[in-house]
Amino acid sequence: MTARRRIYPGAAALAFALSFCVCMIQLLLLQGCGSGGVSTAADPYISQAADGEEREGLTQARDDIDAEMREEAEELDREIERLRKENEELKAKLAEKRK
């Protein structure tokens, strides 16, 4: 007689969902503000500014938004790392329960 493995409902789905979330967040960060450089999305609008004062204002707004997005990206990086560790712990617990 072979030993039956006890499979907890939803354990595999949870591990997959966490892995998927981590991958998607990483992909979004690679495409977006996590690059650390200055955003170029506003450049066409900045270049069309009527005068130097407007250009400075638009540039400052862009820089402020970039800084805020960079902070959010760093927060997401920390969350990704936390989820990665949690995912590894869940995988280890699942493997241990399968023994």
- Amino acid type, 90: L
Assess whether pLDDT exceeds 50 at residue 1: no
| Contact status, residue 38 vs residue 62, Cβ threshold 8 Å | yes
In a domain, 87, yes or no: yes
Query: For residue 74, what are the domain limits?
Result: 12-34+41-98
Residue 49 in tokens: 């500014």
Q: Is 5 among the domain residues?
A: no
- 2 vs 92 pLDDT, higher one: 92
In a domain, 89, yes or no: yes
Is residue 31 pLDDT above 60, yes or no?
Answer: no
Question: For residue 33, with 0-12 CB atoms within 10 Å meaning exposed, 13-18 middle and 19 or more buried, which class applies?
Answer: buried
- Quick check: is 61 in a domain? yes
pLDDT tens per residue across span 34-90: 455 778 888 888 898 889 999 999 999 999 999 999 999 999 999 999 999 999 999
| Run of H or E residues at 88 | helix 52-98
